[in-house]
Structure 1
Amino acid sequence: MPEKVRITPIVASLLAVMLTEPSAEHYGLDLVRRTGLSAGTIYPVLMRLRKAEWVEATWEQIDPHEAGRPARRYYRLTAHGATAARTELEAMFRKLSIVPGITGEATA
């Protein structure tokens, strides 16, 4: 049974980046750059998202010697993951917009 995903600000940041291109494959270092989070933060979140079946992972099919670098592991949102991520992020934004006393307006 898939694990439940707890949407923290870090998880939300990662999902928001992945949702910019929901069917695209993203590799870890690219996600680190795009989110501004550390690799030590990103990879455990990706593992939790995989266990929840929101993300799937595949290894790049290259010859590391010819490419001059190790093969990358690519992560992609599953159809269920993309739908669930949108739903959870929308709920988070709705909740944040109705916080009492925070309107975004300066008070005199």
Structure 2
Amino acid sequence: MGTGHQPRMTIPTQLVLQVFLDDATRDRYGSDIGAEAGLPSGTVHPILARLEGFGWLESRWEDIDPRVEGRPARRYYRLTGAGAQSAQSAVARAHRPRRGFSLPHPASGEA
């Protein structure tokens, strides 16, 4: 992550990061992440690759025999230490209310 750059905080990127932040110790795989984030696989996997490229995620292939399991091996992702810190601050900044936005105040003196 030595470049100092960070990924664009699109809504889908924020949703993917929030899945990881909900339990930063858990390894997750693509379709699991997509289901929790409410996003299709075609959206999730490019985001995962981008976040891994920025050093926010690390991945590993599941060690199984696909013939025995009856499915292909899954690629599991996990936040890196630096990635967890970066993700928390990026998601917090992205959720900051827009300037000029305020909640309605009750009018004083109404019964």
Identify which range, 43-52 or 5-14, moves more after superposition: 5-14
SS in 2 for 1:89: helix
- Aligned residue number for residue 38 of structure 1: 40
Question: TM-score, normalised to structure 2's length?
Answer: 0.85
Deviations 1:40-75 (A, max 9, x none): 100000010010000011000001111111100001
Equivalent in 3, 13, 29 of residue 11 of structure 1: 13
* Rounded Cα–Cα distance in structure 2 between residues aligned with 1:9 and 1:102: 22
Q: Which has the higher helix share?
A: 1
For residues 5 and 29 of structure 1, what CA distance do their matches in structure 2 show?
21
Q: Which runs of 5+ in 2 are unaligned?
A: 107-111
Larger Rg: 2
Q: Which amino acid aligns with 2:38?
A: G
CA distance in 1, matches of 2:76, 2:7: 20
Number of aligned residue pairs: give it: 105
Unpaired runs of 5+ residues, structure 1, are none
What's the C-alpha RMSD, in Å, of the aligned pairs? 2.0
